[in-house]
């Protein structure tokens, strides 16, 4: 014991390291700058350490640990205990290039110092991948939203009420929203700080955190800025990836068989190619009041749009994929497109006739429409199964919004599942094996924007349902078919309401990064 203390005293006054192998030692507050203590969290075979340099408010952290994932975090953590709304900001760099590509240097907020604690962090990986990670229940699995920017110099994590937001630096070094957020409630005070995990239980990795800042966040009365994020989620892992971030309101991504996205914004239709920085406007004039009900033909050559330029009522039009003069399909309104038959000959849509919203079909070439539902209440969102045999839709005929299906001619209408949430927008995967749908809490009426919602995945074969993602969204999130062509991923839009800050620049961003 005397030898261990002697080693501590020989360090510079601005440096404190853990020299007691296998033990958890808390440092004195004055030796760690803005933090109170440091320790190994979880199962760690090699003790970590923390060094503080007051001249530039920097820290060097050494950490071991197998990982920060699944139900436990194994890492070295430098922390302070606090309450309220707060942000933590730092520049992060690893020391050395030979470590595991998945080693992590993190900014973190966690409920406790237990390895399985509820926690939120923004993690810079050894290979540059930067992701927003969270465990929303004690011992639960960790979830991830991958950034589309690799190895940003500066990162920030913010807590505002029960919502957590990630920020990253752009090419000019200024912070901007990463497009990743979650809702997670803590009880009482929590721990905030910085940490390192080696992603290898047998080694120790080091990272520097410079310009580290903790800032209390004050409530503001200013109008929030809406941030839209086009995301994709892999259904096998539920890992999410940011594809595009922009201020303002974009909605309803279609995923083409050629790999690009279509979405609507400000009454117009845009095309976003993967790995390109800016979307391309698709000409639909004079129909420039398009809403979020649009989709691609099975051969990818045409787009069905719903537009309310004429008479302030939505009508359905067909336009070439590269743009052109739209051809009107429906004579009466309001009419909202939702499905295209696999043979390319028929459209399914929702329309209000005689005060009731029901589902109709109509030939792509135009002509007489056929009413398919007659139940009181809203029937909406009809989409064909890949074999064309069924139309899946949402209906409130039972008193709450639930998912139904019927034969393509309207016969044999049956409820698919029954649950306690209000369910909207069923979309069937191209291979016919899965259905995704959007769920609101049972107290939410209609399908409004800016709500806490969830995406659920149902197996068509056995009707088993599991959670795919929780997010802030609703109207605009998945109004239209948005499966990847290979049925492995889904595209959707999440939203953030952020106060405008002089220190944060908010702009459109779409870049590529390594993912794993």
* Sign of torsion over alpha carbons 204, 205, 210, 216: negative
Q: Which CATH superfamily is domain 225-235+249-498 in?
A: TolB, C-terminal domain (2.120.10.30)
For the chain, the residue count is: 516
CA distance 482 to 492: 7
Say whether pLDDT at 501 is over 80: no
Tokens 């969290």 correspond to: 41
457 φψ region: left (φ > 0), alpha (ψ -120 to 50), beta (else): beta
Q: What is the pLDDT confidence band of residue 500, given thresholds at 50, 70 and 90?
A: confident
- What is the CA 495 to chain-centroid distance, rounded? 8
Say whether pLDDT at 479 is over 50: yes
Interval 433-463: pLDDT, tens: 999 999 999 999 999 999 999 999 999 999 9
pLDDT at 98: 83
Q: What is the pLDDT confidence band of residue 222, given thresholds at 50, 70 and 90?
A: confident
Say whether pLDDT at 109 is over 60: yes
Please compute the mean of the pLDDT values over residues 289-307 and round it to a whole number: 97
State the pairing for strand pair 143-146/240-247.
parallel
Q: What is the pLDDT confidence band of residue 97, given thresholds at 50, 70 and 90?
A: confident
Q: What is the pLDDT confidence band of residue 7, given thresholds at 50, 70 and 90?
A: very low
pLDDT at 516: 30
Q: Give yes or no on whether 2-216 and 225-235+249-498 have one common fold.
A: no
CB 58 within 8 A of CB 20: no
CA distance 141 to 71: 5
7, containing H or E segment: helix 2-10
| CA-CA-CA-CA dihedral for 183, 187, 188, 193, to nearest 10 | -50
Interval 143-161: pLDDT, tens: 999 999 999 999 999 999 9
- What are the DSSP E strand ranges found in 57-103? 58-63, 68-69, 72-73, 75-82, 86-95
CB 82 within 8 A of CB 189: yes
- What are the DSSP E strand ranges found in 283-341? 295-296, 302-307, 315-320, 327-328, 335-340
CB 481 within 8 A of CB 240: no
Say whether pLDDT at 503 is over 90: no
Q: Give the angle 446-451-454 at the CA atoms, nearest 5°.
A: 90
Q: What are the backbone angles phi and psi of residue 4, rounded to the nearest 5°?
A: -60, -45
Q: Give the angle 145-216-146 at the CA atoms, nearest 5°.
A: 10
State the pairing for strand pair 268-272/261-265.
antiparallel
Please compute the mean of the pLDDT values over residues 123-141 and round it to a whole number: 97
3-state secondary structure of 175: strand
**What is the DSSP-derived secondary structure letter of residue 1?**
-
* Sign of torsion over alpha carbons 232, 238, 241, 244: positive
CA distance 239 to 70: 12
pLDDT at 57: 85
Please compute the mean of the pLDDT values over residues 92-117 and round it to a whole number: 95
Tell me what the pLDDT averaged over the chain comes to: 91
Please compute the mean of the pLDDT values over residues 54-81 and round it to a whole number: 96
Say whether pLDDT at 515 is over 80: no
Say whether pLDDT at 162 is over 90: yes
Q: In terms of pLDDT, which residue wins out, 73 or 275?
A: 73
What separation in angstroms does the CA of 235 have from each of 132, 243, 415, 466, 483? Answer: 18, 16, 24, 10, 10
CB 482 within 8 A of CB 255: yes
What does the block give as tokens for 136? 């929303």
pLDDT at 45: 97
Please compute the mean of the pLDDT values over residues 210-214 and round it to a whole number: 96
Q: What is the pLDDT confidence band of residue 99, given thresholds at 50, 70 and 90?
A: confident
State the pairing for strand pair 451-459/346-353.
unpaired
Q: What are the backbone angles phi and psi of residue 304, rounded to the nearest 5°?
A: -90, 130
3-state secondary structure of 10: helix
CA distance 377 to 394: 11
Q: What is the pLDDT confidence band of residue 508, given thresholds at 50, 70 and 90?
A: low
pLDDT at 253: 98
What separation in angstroms does the CA of 102 have from each of 98, 139, 180, 200, 205? Answer: 11, 21, 20, 9, 11
pLDDT at 466: 96
Say whether pLDDT at 61 is over 50: yes
CB 453 within 8 A of CB 442: no
Q: Give the angle 209-210-213 at the CA atoms, nearest 5°.
A: 95
Annotated domain spans of the chain: 2-216, 225-235+249-498
pLDDT at 506: 58
CATH of domain 2-216: 2.60.120.200
CA distance 211 to 58: 6
| Percentage above 70 pLDDT, the chain | 91
Interval 9-31: pLDDT, tens: 233 334 333 333 333 434 444 48
| Rg, the chain, Cα only | 26
3-state secondary structure of 9: helix
CA distance 404 to 426: 9
Q: Which of 265, 273, 341 is nearest to 302 (CA)?
A: 341
């Amino acid at each position: 014991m005397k030898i261990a203390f002697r080693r501590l005293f020989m360090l510079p006054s601005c440096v404190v390291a853990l020299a007691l192998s296998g033990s958890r030692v808390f440092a004195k507050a004055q030796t760690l700058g803005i933090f109170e203590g440091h320790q190994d969290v979880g199962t760690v075979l090699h003790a970590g350490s923390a060094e503080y340099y007051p001249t530039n408010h920097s820290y060097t952290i050494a950490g071991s640990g197998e990982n920060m994932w699944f139900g436990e975090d194994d890492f070295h953590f430098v922390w302070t205990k606090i309450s309220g709304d707060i942000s933590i900001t730092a520049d992060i760099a690893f020391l050395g290039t030979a470590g595991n590509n998945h080693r992590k240097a993190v900014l973190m907020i966690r409920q406790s110092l237990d390895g399985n604690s509820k926690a939120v962090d923004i993690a810079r990986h050894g290979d540059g991948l930067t992701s927003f990670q969270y465990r929303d229940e004690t011992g639960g699995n960790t979830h991830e939203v991958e950034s589309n920017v690799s190895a940003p110099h500066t990162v920030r994590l913010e807590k505002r009420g029960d919502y957590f937001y990630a920020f990253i630096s752009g090419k000019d070094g200024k912070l901007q929203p990463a497009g990743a957020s979650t809702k997670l409630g803590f009880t009482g005070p929590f721990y905030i700080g910085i940490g390192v995990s080696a992603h290898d239980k047998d080694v120790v990795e080091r990272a520097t955190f410079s310009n580290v800042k903790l800032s209390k966040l004050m409530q503001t009365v200013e109008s929030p800025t809406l941030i839209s994020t086009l995301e994709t989620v892999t259904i096998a892992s539920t890992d999410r990836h940011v594809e595009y971030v922009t201020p303002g309101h974009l909605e309803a991504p279609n995923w083409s068989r050629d790999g690009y996205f279509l979405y609507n914004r400000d009454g117009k239709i845009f095309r976003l190619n993967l790995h390109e920085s800016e979307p391309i406007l698709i000409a639909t004039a004079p129909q420039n009041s398009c809403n979020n009900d649009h989709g691609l033909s099975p051969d990818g050559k045409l787009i069905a749009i719903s537009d309310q330029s004429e008479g302030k009522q939505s009508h359905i039009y067909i336009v070439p994929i590269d743009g052109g003069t739209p051809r009107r399909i429906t004579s009466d309104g309001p009419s909202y497109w939702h499905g295209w038959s696999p043979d390319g000959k028929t459209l399914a849509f929702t329309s209000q006739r005689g005060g009731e919203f029901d589902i109709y079909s109509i030939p792509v070439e135009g002509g007489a429409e056929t009413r398919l539902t007659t139940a009181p209440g809203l029937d909406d969102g009809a989409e064909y199964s890949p074999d064309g045999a069924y139309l899946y839709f949402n209906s409130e005929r039972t008193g709450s919004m639930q998912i139904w299906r019927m034969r393509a001619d309207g016969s044999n209408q049956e409820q698919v599942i029954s649950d306690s949430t209000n369910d909207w927008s069923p979309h069937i995967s191209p291979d016919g094996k899965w259905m995704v749908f959007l769920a609101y809490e049972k107290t939410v009426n209609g399908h409004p924007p800016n709500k806490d919602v969830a995406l659920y995945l149902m197996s068509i074969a056995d009707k088993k349902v599991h959670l795919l993602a929780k997010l802030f969204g609703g109207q605009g999130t998945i109004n239209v078919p948005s499966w990847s062509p290979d049925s492995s991923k889904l595209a959707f839009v999440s939203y953030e309401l952020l106060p405008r800050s002089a220190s944060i620049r908010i702009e459109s961003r779409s870049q590529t990064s390594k993912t794993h």
